[in-house]
Amino acid sequence: MTSQVDPTRELPNSHRRHTDGDGDHPLHCVWEITLACDLGCGHCGSRAGVARPDELSTKEALEVVDQLAELGLQEITLIGGEAYLRDDWDEIAAAIVDRGMLCTMTTGARNLDAKRVAKAAEAGIKAISISIDGLERTHDVLRGARGAWKSAVAAAERIKDTPILLGTNTQINRLTMPELPALADLLVEIGSRAWQIQLTVPMGRAADRPQLLLQPYDLLELYPLLVWIKQTRLEPAGIHLQPGNNIGYFGPYEHLLRYGGDKGAVWDGCQAGTRVLGLEADGKIKGCPSLPSTKFTGGNIRDLSIAEVVAGARELTAIGERDRDDLWGFCGDCYYGDHCLGGCTWTADVIMGRPGNNPYCIHRALRFDHEGKRERIVKVEDAKGDPFDTGRFEIVVENHPEARPEVIDAILGIPAEDVTTMTTKSESAWDLDHLRKALQKG
């Protein structure tokens, strides 16, 4: 899920269980206010580009703001598509702030010019998170627009000169993973206060490009790399790392990565529908913005109030009621199952077809590795081509083709020394031909 970054505090978007002393209801809503987009990202889960045919009017959107305030939401993150492509985006933002909620925005920032940044500041937007997926060449190819990286960096610099807090977010996949150390350096240069990271999962356009995805065993290289980046590059610069909810779970890295390394703070289950809410631009209500629309829409704003859907729609409430008996496959027998409940609902569902069995898990990868085995996901059915749609994958368990080195000496085949010494001036870890092949439909 793309969502906001507020570097000043522990964030609702980390979905850590907490109470606000005001009952049991979602605290953080991620609201797609339009599906229109000025980028064409090859990994976009919502296949954004053109506005939905029946997006909410301004009047309807402002009524949604009232409902969210009455329900006790604390933070609303505006996303798209590209939120600023709606003519009334700043009016919606100002209404959110007027109702006492925190308003934040996540953006690809291709056209987040000075005028729009000024409007965001005037509306009272607290934080803007800019999506940066790798170094310049990688980002531009992934995001489907030449110049997108330069625009994003320029927008970040504009935001830095305002009271708005600057955050960044990155999708981790086969193209961006070796560039993460250099990307961390870039965040230092542009003054990002926080960095939200998330694994790319096969939804929407990413489902059409399985070669982009990490394999579960790649997590064995990724997690030590993330810890190293956090300790050597982010912490000295005061940048807060925010692992998204599919960066998990348990094992030797959880306490080093999640919740700022708080003692005793561990992943405690998906909070879709209980602490988190997602809205689509045509009024669909989901427990989390990333979840597939067909299965997880609990109702529409035009038919029901948000409070009614949160309280009564099984598509939302069933997620919060999941228990150990709902886990299956490897997760069904997992030692951490009672707490973890199979990790991120969205990630498990889009890969495995239903929640409760999640191959993107470091504990799981380590268990297989211990036995000299690994899991590989293989696409067996294409996605149809709709927003938030999914294909179907199967897991292959196989022997490791070779013994893993005791010290990680390469990241996705690139020598570790090259990965850790890559600079922000490098255009990419990959040549153009490799990038283009990775973005072909497969």
Residues that bind ligand SF4 (CB under 6 A): 1, 15, 245, 249-250, 270-272, 276, 288, 290-291, 330-331, 334, 336-337, 340, 342-346, 358, 361, 363-364
Give 213 or 334: the residue with its C-beta nearer to ligand SF4.
334
Q: Which residues lie below 8 Å from residue 193, measured CB to CB, with a gap of 6+?
A: 5, 7, 8, 165, 166, 167, 238, 239, 240
The CB-of-425 to ligand SF4 minimum distance in angstroms stands at 34
Sign of CA dihedral 53, 51, 207, 342: negative
Give the nearer residue to ligand SF4 in terms of CB position, either 89 or 249: 249
Which residue, 325 or 406, is less far from ligand SF4 as judged by CB?
325
- Which residue number, 83 or 344, has a Cβ lying nearer to ligand SF4? 344
What is the distance between the alpha carbons of residues 198 and 294, in angstroms, rounded to a whole number? Answer: 23
Q: Is 272 helix (H, G, I), strand (E, B) or coil?
A: strand
Q: Which is nearer to ligand SF4, 298 or 342 (CB)?
A: 342
Q: Looking at beta carbons only, is 291 or 429 nearer to ligand SF4?
A: 291
CB of 80: closest distance to ligand SF4 in angstroms? Answer: 17
Can you tell me the distance from the alpha carbon of 359 to that of 384, in angstroms, rounded to the nearest whole number?
23
The DSSP 8-state label assigned to residue 230 in this structure reads I
CA pair distance 333, 364, nearest whole angstrom: 11
Taking the CA atoms of 346, 352, 353 and 356 in sequence, report the sign of the dihedral they define. negative
- In the complex with ligand SF4, the residue whose CB is nearer, 297 or 345, is 345
> Measured from the CB of residue 313, what is the shortest distance to ligand SF4 in angstroms?
15
CA distance 120 to 90: 6
* 341 contact partners, CB below 8 Å, separation of at least 6: 269, 270, 322, 323, 324, 326, 327, 356
Shortest separation between residue 157's beta carbon and ligand SF4, angstroms: 29
**Cβ-Cβ contacts under 8 Å for 431 (sequence gap 6 or more):** none
Task: Tell me the closest approach of the beta carbon of residue 333 to ligand SF4, in angstroms.
Answer: 9
How near is the Cβ of 188 to ligand SF4 at its closest, in Å? Answer: 27
Tell the smallest beta-carbon distance from residue 270 to ligand SF4 (Å). 3
